[in-house]
Amino acid sequence: MNTVNRYGVLMSILISLCCVSSVQSAELGDPAAPLKIEKWVKGDPVDFESKKVLVVEFWATWCGPCRTSIPHLTELQEKYKNDVVFIGVSDEPAATVAPYVKEMGDKMNYTVAVDKNRKTHDGYMKAYDQNGIPTAFIVDKNRNVAWLGHPMADLDNILSQVIEGTYDIQLAKRAMKAEQNLPKYFDLVKAGDDSDARTLGDEILKHANKNAGLLNQFAWFILTMPDLPDRDLELAMEVAQAAYDASKGNSAMIADTYARAFYELGNLEKAIHYQQ
């Protein structure tokens, strides 16, 4: 992913987080709401009682970031086809959704459904105070909500853990709290509250734990977000290194962020090393 597209995706994640309430009426680990579907536009109707993991993703035909995430969801559906069913849910009329899905063709190769009077939306988006799309929910085999977030964030990594049975819901709850604090951190920086910003930044780093995707987002925003009056490059390096360690050096995107942190701190030798 080139720098422009990457920044656009990450910015859409941050914007969606700005719309999230600090208090949620539902929590990770709660039972998932049943799917209330008016029409299955693509794919077979999904048996909610099946033992497969579900990814319920809310999107719309008019949503630019949704269009960006569609090929990624298709790739993940193919990768996890034996264990996971992906469902793209729109609250638009079927007459609007169907032509769009047809136009996308194989780029949108997973189940697509139209919400019934926004009942599915209410059971997921409204229940978890989510206002931005695209937003994906992972529903585990026990039909509990295991994770929610932007589908381009850390969906692949979390899915593999849920399938393997290594997913830690308590760590996930702390990571969600850290993610929800990202907009507040940048508000503090822009307001010139450097001390409070650093305190919150350290808290985000702590709660994010080994969530490589979240850590990488945080570091990249510190390093590249326009109009920041002051960049805490030391914090950016700590976060970028934590992301790199959590990914075990296997993510090109995370290595790129790590290299950028070295570059900004003037260590060109290491910047070149990790960029290569």
Place of tokens 């490059």: 233
Mapping DSSP to helix (H, G, I), strand (E, B) and coil, where does residue 110 land? Answer: coil
Q: Which residues of 149-167 are buried (b: 16+ CB within 10 A; e: fewer)?
A: bbbbbbbebbbebbbeeeb
pLDDT over 90 at 23, yes or no: no
Nearest CA to 49 among 38, 37, 39, 34? Answer: 34
Q: Check: CB of residue 19 under 8 Å from CB of residue 131.
A: yes
Q: Check: CB of residue 37 under 8 Å from CB of residue 120.
A: yes
Pairing verdict, β 145-149 and 135-139: antiparallel
Strand-pairing partners, residue 39, are: 114
Please provide the average confidence, as pLDDT, over all residues in the chain: 90
Residue 19 pLDDT class (50, 70, 90 cuts)? very low
- The pTM (predicted TM-score) of the whole model is 0.72
Q: What confidence score (pLDDT) does residue 14 get?
A: 53
The Cβ of residue 191 has, within 10 Å, a number of other Cβ atoms equal to: 11
The 10s digit of each residue's pLDDT in 28-41 is 999 999 999 999 99
The 10s digit of each residue's pLDDT in 221-258 is 999 998 898 999 999 999 999 999 998 898 899 999 99
The Cβ of residue 188 has, within 10 Å, a number of other Cβ atoms equal to: 19
The 10s digit of each residue's pLDDT in 36-71 is 999 999 999 999 989 899 999 999 999 999 999 999
Strand-pairing partners, residue 138, are: 55, 147
pLDDT > 70: percent of the chain = 91
Cα separation, 94 vs 99, whole angstroms: 9
Q: How far is CA 176 from CA 4, 38, 93, 179, 263, in A?
A: 26, 31, 32, 5, 29
Cα angle 63, 72, 161; round to 5: 120
Q: What confidence score (pLDDT) does residue 154 get?
A: 78
Q: Check: CB of residue 63 under 8 Å from CB of residue 133.
A: yes
